[in-house]
Structure 1
Amino acid sequence: MKYWQLITSIVLSIFVFLMPLPVQAASSSSVTRSILNAVGGEDFSGKNLIRAEFTSVTLKNANFTNADLRGAIFNGVLLDGANLHGSDFSSGIAYISRFKNVDLSDAVLNDTNMLRSTFDNVEVTGADFTNALLDIQQLKKLCINASGTNSKTGVSTRESLGCP
């Protein structure tokens, strides 16, 4: 009887370790899920959107004025004409997103990762970018018109961007 148990456990072990298991690959857009299927013009002003996820959506002319976006994720999002005035996007991620004609004035973007995102004609007066990660080309674009001091943090926009 002891030999039977030993043989069975060996055969079972060989079967488990030598049989390949199926593997599934996933892209970042299939791993994360967006909170909505937006097309633009949505009003998120003053909303609590902590850790909200926006993936591969168009948020044209969306209003995020004074929204709480701490830890939010914008992955592959088009934010053309969006208003993020006074929003708190601290510790957030904006990866491969487009900020075109966007109002970031008086926004708090501390510790936000915005690598591979583009910024065209963006208003940054009073925005606080302390410890934010930006591509050097985009940083230079933002420094051209950077001015003012953030009303919540008291930090100069030019200083937070590290502008010369």
Structure 2
Amino acid sequence: MIRGLITFMATLLLFCWPLTALAQDNPSGLFFNHSLLQGRDFSDQSLPAAEFANSNLESANFDHSQLVGSVFSKAIMKNANMRGADLTYAMLDQVDFSNADLSNSIFTEVLFFGSTFKDTKITGADFTDALLDGEQLRQLCITASGVNPKTGVSTRYSLGCR
């Protein structure tokens, strides 16, 4: 019980501190919560700490976007393109990534609990220190391959695949 409480508190500290720091650096904030953004093009944009919680982003394009500290909790991202995006410190919990392309993206210290990855492309994605469920890890390790071109970290190594 105490170990669980310590893990929970550490997770809160890990994710709340970077998001708070980023929010102070971006006082204008970008809020797309509860939005219908199917097919929207966000490619090559800098969107630090942007919020997309509970939004429909099916087939949206985030190709090579900077999304450090962004929040996508409970978003629908079926068929989305996130190739080469940087999502360091992002919250991607309970997101549906079915048929999405996450190739060469950076997911360092990201929270993924409850997200689904059915037929998701992850070649070259870096998941270093990301928090994933055991079933998610098992599923992702089946197709994990490649090396991230920016970080030089292999996808399999970043997931801890055996």
Report the identity percentage. 43
Q: 1:83 is matched with which residue? A: 81
SS at match of 1:73: coil
In the TM superposition, residue 161 of structure 1 has moved relative to its aligned partner by: 0.3
Which residue of the other structure, out of 85, 89, 92, is the alignment partner of 2:90?
92
Q: 1 or 2, which has the higher strand percentage? A: 1
Letter in 1 for 2:32: I
- Backbone CA RMSD of aligned residues: 1.2
Q: 2:151 is matched with which residue? A: 153
Preserved CA contact (<8 Å) 2:86 2:105 = yes
Which residue of the other structure, out of 100, 103, 107, is the alignment partner of 1:102?
100
In the TM superposition, residue 98 of structure 1 has moved relative to its aligned partner by: 0.8
- Partner Cα distance (1:49, 1:92) in 2: 11
Which residue of the other structure, out of 54, 67, 80, is the alignment partner of 1:69?
67
Normalising by structure 2, report the TM-score. Answer: 0.79
In the TM superposition, residue 34 of structure 1 has moved relative to its aligned partner by: 4.1
Q: 1:113 is matched with which residue? A: 111
Q: 2:138 is matched with which residue? A: 140
Q: 1:122 is matched with which residue? A: 120
- Extract structure 1 runs of 4+ deviating beyond 3 A: none
Name structure 2 gaps, 5 residues minimum. 1-29
Deviations 1:95-123, CA, capped at 9 Å, x for gaps: 21111001010000000011111111111
Q: 1:20 is matched with which residue? A: none
Letter in 2 for 1:35: F
- Partner Cα distance (1:56, 1:108) in 2: 22
Question: Structure 2 matches for 1:11-90, cutoff 5 A?
Answer: 34-35=31-32, 37-90=35-88
Deviations 1:62-101, CA, capped at 9 Å, x for gaps: 0000000100001110000000000000010012111100
- Partner Cα distance (1:135, 1:46) in 2: 30
In the TM superposition, residue 38 of structure 1 has moved relative to its aligned partner by: 2.4
Preserved CA contact (<8 Å) 2:100 2:119 = yes
